[in-house]
Amino acid sequence: MSSRSRHGKSLALLMALVTAMATVLTAAATPATAAPGRPFTNPIKSVKGADPWLEYYQGNYYLVTTSWTSELTMRKSPTLAGLATAPSVQVWADSTPSRCCNMWAPELRFANGRWYLYYVAGPTGTDYVRNQRSHVLESVGGDPMGPYAYKNKLFDPAGDVGLIDPSVLELNGSRYLMASAWTSTQNLVIARMSNPYTVTGAFSTISTPTLSWERQSGAVNEGPEPLQRNGRTFIIYSASFCAGPDYKLGQLTYNGGDPLSASSWVKRSTPVFQRNDANGVYGPGHNGFFTSPDGTESWIVYHGNDSVSDGCDNNRTTRAQRFTWNADGTPNFGTPVRLGVTLDGPAGETAATPAAYTVVNRNSGKCMEVTGGSTADGANIAQRTCTGAAAQRWRFEDLANDTSRLVNAATGKVADVANCDTADGADIRQWSWLNNGCQRFRIVSTAEGGWVRLVNVNSGKVAEVVGCGTADGADVRQRTWQNNICQQWQLRPV
């Protein structure tokens, strides 16, 4: 064999080796994309679904929306699909006259080991322009479900004017509060913050509704939400009035310089997300963003209406869908998806979508059960060692007024305070649904770690294991809240 032949074979072998190594290195450098998540259909919240904010944190999604009342409720699920039937847990209620009512636009942010829940509230009545203000709560611990404590009112030191839809932007090492301010029009404003709950300077205006598509049914810029990727910053905001079908999303792009200056932001001349008559989606807007569990997908959550005549009320439902990115680095939200279409959930979901929940007592560690799985009206509810039996499984069905009914999976009947009694010690049993306050409960966040109290709407008293018993068969009855662990429960998905 000639030296030239030997050299050629050696070169070919070397090239093959280099190619193989490059292939291995490329494969190692390219993250594997997880399989699609659990199938879901929109809406992911069919009651009180306006102004949604969705956060994915440590294996669960957390969803909070506008209530229009004096309470804020939150849902938690390991899958996006599961949010549709997850319990609505009250994480905040307030009776302070200046901020008791009309709670809107809640938004979660995590900082310094605490969750901050931003929201809008005002006094009773409907004079929203003059009276609605922005506020912030702080979690007692590190649980997104709370409990929470009131932290601060957020306002312009130069003048306490109507300020709604607060959101936080972190840019160039600083924190800013963005919001919508009411003047003759609704404008987007921004101010510097010294911490997650304090505004330190005057607000400056960075966008006003000057384009025709921002002035349909009303001249509105509101709901500013930051969207950041690959060093670029966008503000996606809602435009036009929510009472009409042409509520939609617009986009500002940060162009460098001082974020407090309007000249640092460039407004796109056309909307980026709007009604889709062919799909029966009207007024899509007031959105948030989240990333799939595996970190590979970008998702938008928003509210929409089913009819051209729907408006700014609790008929708006929460929807979610994946979006992509254009070659120039800008977001491409596509078009709103029709309700009822089955979609792949976010990539990286590994848990099953919950079908029901067990209700576990904090003191005993045992499960609330319809005794013996009886289907009779009046069958007793007691605690028993958790076995996963259908008689220990409950569905928490949202009744659209910040209350729920507890439906037993085995019997289809609901938890009920016997004879609508309001006394301590009244029995909690099952009964056919009668749609009364004795069968309605508020699920109230009580302690970090997901512990709640089950508050009967009629009596105002809570479900308790009698005598703090730990034995199988210990009865569940109602009693005045005493903040003990016999009155605390955890809702565990099954």
- Active site (annotated) includes residue 107: no
Residue 419 DSSP code: G
Nearest-angstrom CA–CA distance, 215 and 294? 39
Which helix (DSSP H) or strand (DSSP E) does residue 165 occupy?
strand 163-171
Catalytic residue among 156, 222, 225, 246: 222
Residue 243 CB coordination number (10 Å): 16
- DSSP per-residue string spanning 234-278: EEEEEES-TTSTT-EEEEEEE-SS-TTSGGGEEE-SS-SB--BGG
Q: Nearest CA to 64 among 79, 46, 49, 81?
A: 49
Tokens found for residue 373: 């799985």
- Active site (annotated) includes residue 214: no
Nearest-angstrom CA–CA distance, 116 and 166? 12
Measure the N-to-C terminal CA separation of the chain; round to a whole number of Å: 72
- pLDDT tens track of the chain, all 494 residues? 444 344 444 434 433 433 443 333 333 333 455 689 999 999 999 999 999 999 999 999 999 999 999 999 999 999 999 999 999 999 999 999 999 999 999 999 999 999 999 999 999 988 887 899 999 999 999 999 999 999 999 988 777 888 999 999 999 999 999 999 988 899 999 999 999 999 998 999 999 999 999 999 999 999 999 999 999 999 999 999 999 999 999 999 999 999 999 999 999 999 999 999 999 999 999 999 999 999 999 999 999 999 999 999 999 999 999 999 999 999 999 999 999 999 999 999 999 999 999 999 999 999 999 999 999 999 999 999 999 999 999 999 999 999 999 999 999 999 999 999 999 999 999 999 999 999 999 999 999 999 999 999 999 999 999 999 999 999 999 999 999 999 999 999 99
Nearest-angstrom CA–CA distance, 42 and 300? 12
- What burial class does residue 87 get, using C-beta atoms within 10 Å of its C-beta: 0-12 exposed, 13-18 middle, 19+ buried? buried
Q: Where are the beta strands (DSSP E) in 380-439?
A: 381-384, 394-398, 404-408, 414-417, 428-431
Contact 436/385 with Cβ under 8 angstroms? no
User: How many CA atoms, within 13 angstroms, populate the side-chain half-sphere of residue 94?
Assistant: 26
Residue 82 DSSP code: G
Catalytic residue among 51, 138, 165, 214: 51
